[in-house]
Amino acid sequence: MKMKRAAVYVRVSRDDQNTGAQETALRDYVEQRGWQLHRVYRDHGVSGALSNRPALDELMRDARRRVFDTVVVWKFDRFARSLKTLIAGLELFKSLNIDFVSVTESVDTSLPSGELVFQIFGAVAQFERALIGERVKAGLKHARQQGKALGRPALRLLSKREIAQLRKERRESRLPFRTLAVKYRISVWTAHHLCTRSH
């Protein structure tokens, strides 16, 4: 049977901290499980709130190349500071058949209990997305009922005379919408909309 290759990820937020304690515990854990340590990925002095973390980015690239079989972390919050980021990472690992272990939280997605945790997290994330979608729809509906204009505001509002002149130039000179947009200081979409909507 092929020995499982483990990638260890450690992170500390401040420069005056070090990853030594996490790393020692995770190395011991990997050895106890009888796995082969592929590599330790270290982010030092990097906030977990940042979406771009050098070592984590490298770990994710290596995951896509399937150079290891499992990812081991000390705690979930070392890997991700939001449920959204955690679920995205776990879903990627699952699609690549890579297991995920959080040692202090006793979660191992290769085990039935760990798979259950993954399913619960996924359900919570889906519920969260549904709630956000409902809030957005309710907010837009309320704004429309209040008569508020939705979408990006126009760069500037044209007078009726300017609109008539713009349409005339488009009709007679066939000027491109981009040229008209620059001339009248409006967006290309607005120029197109003014020229194609019914007068």
Catalytic residues: 13
Give the chain as a 3 state SS string.
CCCCEEEEEEEECCCCCCCHHHHHHHHHHHHHCCCEEEEEEEEECCCCCCCCCHHHHHHHHHHHCCCCCEEEECCHHHHCCCHHHHHHHHHHHHHCCCEEEECCCCEECCCHHHHHHHHHHHHHHHHHHHHHHHHHHHHHHHHHHCCCCCCCCCCCCCCHHHHHHHHHHHHHHCCCHHHHHHHHCCCHHHHHHHHHCCC
| Rounded distance between C-alpha atoms, residue 125 and residue 87, angstroms | 7
Given its phi and psi angles, is residue 139 left (phi above 0), alpha (psi -120 to 50 degrees) or beta? Answer: alpha
